[in-house]
Amino acid sequence: MLRHTPYKTLQTPAEHAATDPALGLLPVWKLSDLYPSREAPEFKADMERAGTLCRDFEAKWKGRLADAAVKTGKEGLGQALTDYETLEDLLGRIGSFAGLTYFSDTSNPANGKFYGDVQSKLTDLSAHLLFFALELNRIDDAVVDAAMERDPQAGHYRPWIVDLRKDKPYQLEDKIEQLFLEKSMTSAAAFNRLFDETMAELRFEVDGEKLPLEITLNMLQEPEEPVRRKAAEALSKTFQQNIRVFTLITNTLAKDKEISDRWRGFKDIADSRHLANRVERDVVDALAAAVRDAYPRLSHRYYAMKAKWLGMEQMNFWDRNAPLPETPKALISWPDAKETVLSAYAGFAPEMADIARRFFDEEWIDAPVRSGKAPGAFAHPTVPSAHPYVLVNYMGKPRDVMTLAHELGHGVHQVLAGEQGALMAQTPLTLAETASVFGEMLTFRALLDKTKDKRERKAMLAQKVEDMINTVVRQIAFYEFERKLHTARKEGELTSEQIGELWLSVQEESLGPAIRISEGYETWWTYIPHFIHSPFYVYAYAFGDCLVNSLYAVYQNAEPGFQAKYFELLKAGGTKHHSELLAPFGLDATDPSFWSRGLSMIEGLIDELEALDKA
């Protein structure tokens, strides 16, 4: 594994790195597309310009939006919205650069200071813009509707305004909103950063070698059981040694959220997330109930089969993602991974592959595992005036190829949705996983179709089933854990042991009797970043997977014009509700059978595995 790479080196387009020669050259993203460096005149000029524009915007429009709503042209509401969008793009570019710099190496104190200073400055600047949404929502609906009809410039932003109005019941008085915004830097944002930096610094000792989180977690996919066990023991030991910090972070953020929800008047602990996702609570409740009901047919059944394949009566929790004996052991090189994903995308639509290829050709991907680099994977959209970036930690496993396909799906979605502009490009989380999971499915199906060997086919199917269980069953279990935790936190601070008990209760229920939950696993809630950064985000994965399963079934039935309708869905960004986007495909997430249909595809793959096993 590479040692720390200096920040300026990360900017060099020709700079590549690899953890294993068999992987080939792994790309490092070119952040100079945003700014040449943090000391660059362009970055400093934009910081200065942002301050001037934010203050000028406040001086021009604050207290005048009601008047602007009855005017057109440079004094009209449409111009105010256009000016606001320009500022959002500029501030987003600055924030994206600081964030991606930080995630390149969270252990570098200079990166941490840079990120913290920029976040603080952006928060100060955002305080000048805070009035805009609040004041706009206080204008009578009929007046705003008339303005959008009268002024095409204002009418362009209708989807954003309609979305904004949904926040009206939960708005607070301006001064309180400003206090919430400014205090976020010393409350939620501070504890988020503490979590990230603590996690980046953790080391897990395996056979005398101290390893970072990403590599240690990856060892849980090794073929040899002793390797998996040692990795699990190292993870449990280090999590336990740092449990007080993670317990404090979790308690603080849960309380912070409870205070915010109480002041805003949200009834349910997840309602603020549902509102942000523009999805109804009963739709999410139906999804969660359908998945819980399916536990015995999905995870319980599959893990019982896997235990038998591995020659065990019961698997230990560290065996859950162990490869089957049939799994090919050779590492997949980066060029092969690239070709696999791009060819699968091209088989669906050449335009999709063309967009994805730009991520490789124009160095928008950061692939090597590095000390201090953010763990996991993500696609960051930045802003429409720039382009997305993808982070993966590539180690040559088949799952890494699927992760690449997943994140590139996000990237393609973000490029297409960017046409909507800074205010309307962002897709609600419930649909944000659509392109990523669809990209994974395309890649999996392309590989499966090429595989004729029965043993390899079994290994591929098993891995796909596990990935789907991780995406659907595991994420709904995470959602149920969060619900239990945030509910219990209302009654008082929780001890590490109490949080561990809540964690084990949902894990035992979702994994089933074929998995032995032994000592040490009670601390594994500590490393899940979604609990910290985005409470209740996790159900979006299950939503996206079930949705894509239904969407893929439509595609398999050769629905005429499917690709064109699919691209229209992606291009819509945040301009349409999920009901509008799914209607052209004959799908309806409010229909109780919708979720059963999505889950039945996972069940069908398990049936196929069972049939292969008996053949």
pLDDT of 507 = 97
Which pLDDT score, from 0 to 100, does residue 464 have?
92
Indicate whether 13 pLDDT > 50: no
Instruction: Name 26's bridge partners.
Output: 17
Q: What span, in angstroms and rounded, lies between the C-alpha atoms of 605 and 543? A: 19
For residue 86, what are the CA distances in angstroms to 45, 89, 95, 205?
16, 5, 14, 49
Residue 319 has pLDDT above 80, yes or no: yes
Q: Concatenated DSSP letters for 103-152?
A: HH-TT-HHHHHHHHHHHHHHHHHHHHHHHHHHHHHHS-HHHHHHHHHH-H
Tokens of 244: 């007080």
Give the type of residue at 75. Answer: E
Q: How many CB atoms lie within 10 A of CB 551?
A: 24
Annotate 313-374 with DSSP letters as a single string.
SSEEGGGTTPPPTTS--SPPPHHHHHHHHHHHHHHH-HHHHHHHHHHHHTT-EE-S-BTTSP
Specify the 3-state DSSP secondary structure of 90. helix
Query: Within the chain, what is the greatest distance between any pair of CA atoms?
Result: 75
What's the token pair of residue 364?
């928008």
- State the Cα–Cα distance between residues 413 and 334, nearest whole angstrom: 22
d(CA 121, CA 181): 12
**Can you tell me the distance from the alpha carbon of 405 to that of 97, in angstroms, rounded to the nearest whole number?**
24
In angstroms, the CA 239 to CA 236 distance is: 5
Calculate mean pLDDT across residues 102-127: 93
- Mean pLDDT over 535-551 rounds to 91
Does the global pTM surpass 0.85? no
Task: Supply the pLDDT for residue 563.
Answer: 93
Instruction: Please give the pLDDT value at position 1.
Output: 22
Segment 220-235 mean pLDDT: 96
Q: What is the pLDDT of residues 169-201, one digit of tens each?
A: 999 898 998 899 888 888 899 999 999 999 989
Torsion of CA 398, 403, 406, 409, to 10 degrees: -100
Helices then strands, each counted (H, E), the chain: 29, 9
Kindly tell me if the per-residue pLDDT of 8 is higher than 50: no
At 503-534, the pLDDT tens digits run 999 999 999 999 999 999 999 999 999 999 99
Return the closest-CA partner of residue 56 out of 29, 83, 33: 83
- Contacts (Cβ under 8 Å, ≥6 apart) of 417: 381, 425, 426, 427, 570, 571, 572, 573, 574
CA distance 184 to 145: 33
One-letter identity of residue 166: K
What mean pLDDT value characterizes the chain? Answer: 92
**Residue 208 Ramachandran class (φ > 0 left, ψ -120 to 50 alpha, else beta):** left
pLDDT, tens only, 400-449: 999 999 999 999 999 999 999 999 999 887 788 899 999 999 999 888 88
**CA–CA separation, 1 vs 558, rounded Å?**
46
In the sheet that holds 365-366, the strands lie side by side as 365-366, 389-391, 378-380
3-state secondary structure of 211: strand
pLDDT-derived band of residue 6, with 50, 70 and 90 as boundaries? Answer: very low
**Rounded Cα–Cα distance for residues 533 and 192 (Å):** 6
In eight-state DSSP terms, residue 377 is -
Query: Is the model's pLDDT at 31 over the cut of 50?
Result: yes
pLDDT tens profile 355-390: 999 999 999 999 999 988 988 899 999 999 999 999
Mean pLDDT across the stretch 596-610?
92
The pLDDT tens digits for 134-182 are 999 999 999 999 999 999 999 999 999 999 999 999 998 989 988 998 8
In the chain the domains, ranked by start, together with CATH numbers, are 34-166 (1.20.140.70)
Give whole-number Cα distances, 227 to 213, 216, 234, in Å.
Answer: 15, 10, 11
